[in-house]
Amino acid sequence: MCGVIGIYDYEEVIAKTYTAILTLQHRGQDSAGILTYNGRFHLKKGNGLVRDIFDHRNIARLKGHISIAHTRYPTVGEGSVEDAQPFWINYPYGIAGAHNGNLTNFFELKQELFEKSHKIINSNCDVEAILSIFTEHLEKFRSKELTPDIIFNAVRYVYRKVKGSYSVVIYIADKGMLAFRDPFGLRPLLFGINRDKLIPSFAFASESVTLDVLGFKDIKDLKPGSAIFIDKNRKVHEKKISNKPHRPCIFEYIYFARPDSYLNKINVYKSRVELGKKLAKKIKKIKLPIDVIVPVPDSARAAAIEIARILNIKYREGLVKNRYIGRTFIMPGDTLRKESINYKLNPIADVFKNKNVLIVDDSIVRGNTSRSIIQMVRDTGAKKIYFASYSAPLKNPCIYGIDMQTRGEFIATNSTPEQIANKIGADKVIYQDVKDMQEAVREQNKEIKSFCKACFTGIYPTGDVSKHMLEQIEEEREYMSKHLNLTLNK
């Protein structure tokens, strides 16, 4: 998962872009980049947090009215600065882009581009492949005026060639800004227009919060399999190109996105309240002697409050988070992840001592977080510790951009809730059912018939995922995480 932004303004855009990129820091803390355009591209990218990468010097150099920005969460790629986005290439047009998602046929594309078109994909970054495929189509029209139709046909060509998930923002020098979502709309992408001034300005972003903060009022989601092109005269062209069913990633609502965002007309916070409501009904049936309900901050708070309200049990914030440590899951490599959980959370002994507690979290992935939390809560003198996850058991690799790509990584693979409880040291583990999980998120937008929930069910909506492909991805993943561990532990 990453954060992507494109701004098409009428005045110097760097201040807005910097504000915007900060709103998407939670989508990736591995690297970030901003590219601007004023007759030439200016680019600054680096590893780490936004606030550490940009300073007065490089901000002063990022001139222009047009920008593309990105925060990266590592999926494919070795975490090097060369693989950070945005990317630009020079032929057949000056063209720059960034994307959020993960291509499942990246290595095939890389090979094909080299063998058939003698193009080298220099990085391990998906967007370089997308740009190369996109321009392969444009090349045929170099002598012609670049019309919206030609551009949309190039997107159609991308859809034919590129598999996986991708929400893309591209700027074609002096021609215009283009954004598109993959055919299934797996990853989010929103579009805003600001007409407050004489000249309208436009922006694309992975989450609505970015457009809110920039003052955009007129905000909408790009439809799955559709593209929006703003030409050099600021005319907006929109086209639905593919008619696949919409299958947005359910994990955005469970964990990833900010609670104040609206994605696919669904507010993330409200969906977490609904998830809590459904889970409360299940817990009620089990009739556990719970004295106090405590969320794992921050994502589980909304659901835990709702569970406590429905069960009429005391809600307490018994785990305190150190805000200055990044998101644990985002830490590449298991060693770093395990270490940072312990610095990150600390229990308030009085909340737990001699009590039966229900701890609520959004998910259990590897079980590192829950195991350490349960241990620290036991140490305070709690009696029974029940652990509830408002998402279903995670068992399958995500091939669409979330860093949990091998089956061996999941505590729930081949284990029952009882066995999981045993492994993490809980007296009981309660999971949301898959059906309830989906219905809770669908509640606000029934037009979405189904979500991608492949990491829970093993059913991949793009339909092109073979067992062999999963094994290959797992192998690559294992290799990369070992490699990342080595480099980061130095």
Residues identified as active-site: 2
Residues 386, 293 contacting (CB under 8 angstroms) = no
Beta sheet of 66-72, edge-to-edge order: 41-47, 31-37, 66-72, 3-8, 201-205, 190-194, 218-221
Which of the listed partners (ligand 5GP, ligand SF4, Mg ion, none) does 367 bind, with a CB threshold of 5 to 8 Å by partner kind?
ligand 5GP
Q: Closest distance between ligand 5GP and the C-beta of residue 323, in Å?
A: 15
Member of 75, 104, 340, 369 binding ligand 5GP (CB under 6 A): 369
* Cα distance between residue 19 and residue 9, in whole Å: 14
Q: Closest distance between ligand 5GP and the C-beta of residue 254, in Å?
A: 7
Which of the listed partners (ligand SF4, Mg ion, ligand 5GP, none) does 364 bind, with a CB threshold of 5 to 8 Å by partner kind?
ligand 5GP
* Cα distance between residue 230 and residue 170, in whole Å: 11
* Cα distance between residue 59 and residue 34, in whole Å: 9
Q: Choose the stretch contacting ligand 5GP; rule: CB under 6 A; options: 48-56, 236-244, 277-285, 366-374.
A: 366-374
Q: Closest distance between Mg ion and the C-beta of residue 18, in Å?
A: 27
Q: Choose the stretch contacting ligand SF4; rule: CB under 6 A; options: 47-55, 134-142, 303-311, 398-406.
A: 398-406
Q: How many residues bind ligand 5GP (CB under 6 A)?
A: 19
Alpha helices in 100-207 (DSSP H): 106-117, 126-139, 148-161
**Which tokens belong to 169?**
């923002």
Q: Using the minimum distance from each CB to ligand SF4, give the nearer residue, 75 or 372.
A: 75
Member of 88, 166, 229, 329 binding ligand 5GP (CB under 6 A): 329
Handedness of CA 413, 453, 253, 403 (dihedral sign): positive
Q: Choose the stretch contacting ligand 5GP; rule: CB under 6 A; options: 22-30, 205-213, 359-367, 435-443.
A: 359-367
**Residues 416-435, interacting with ligand 5GP (CB under 6 A):** none
* Cα distance between residue 100 and residue 65, in whole Å: 23
Q: Closest distance between ligand SF4 and the C-beta of residue 250, in Å?
A: 5
Member of 402, 421, 424, 470 binding ligand SF4 (CB under 6 A): 402
Identify how many contiguous H helices and E strands the chain contains and give both numbers: 17, 22
List, in order, residues 6 or more apart from 457 with CB less than 8 Å away.
Answer: 396, 434
User: Do the strands 201-205 and 164-172 form a parallel or antiparallel pair, or are they unpaired?
Assistant: unpaired
Contact between 272 and ligand 5GP by CB under 6 A: the answer reads no
**Residues 226-285, interacting with ligand SF4 (CB under 6 A):** 249-251
What CA–CA distances, in Å, run from 39 to 19, 51, 147, 367?
23, 27, 20, 50
Which residue from 186, 191, 252, 171 is spatially nearest to 225, judged by alpha carbons? 186
Member of 146, 168, 455, 473 binding ligand SF4 (CB under 6 A): 455
Give the other-Cβ count within 10 Å of 459's Cβ: 12
Per-residue x/- track, 289-308, ligand 5GP (CB under 6 A): -------x--x---------
Contact between 207 and ligand 5GP by CB under 6 A: the answer reads no
Which of the listed partners (ligand 5GP, ligand SF4, Mg ion, none) does 249 bind, with a CB threshold of 5 to 8 Å by partner kind?
ligand SF4
Contact between 400 and ligand SF4 by CB under 6 A: the answer reads yes
* Cα distance between residue 304 and residue 172, in whole Å: 46
**Residues 18-37, interacting with ligand SF4 (CB under 6 A):** none
Residue nearest to ligand 5GP (CB): 329
Which residues here bind ligand 5GP, judged by CB under 6 A?
A: 255-256, 296, 299, 327-329, 361-370, 394, 402
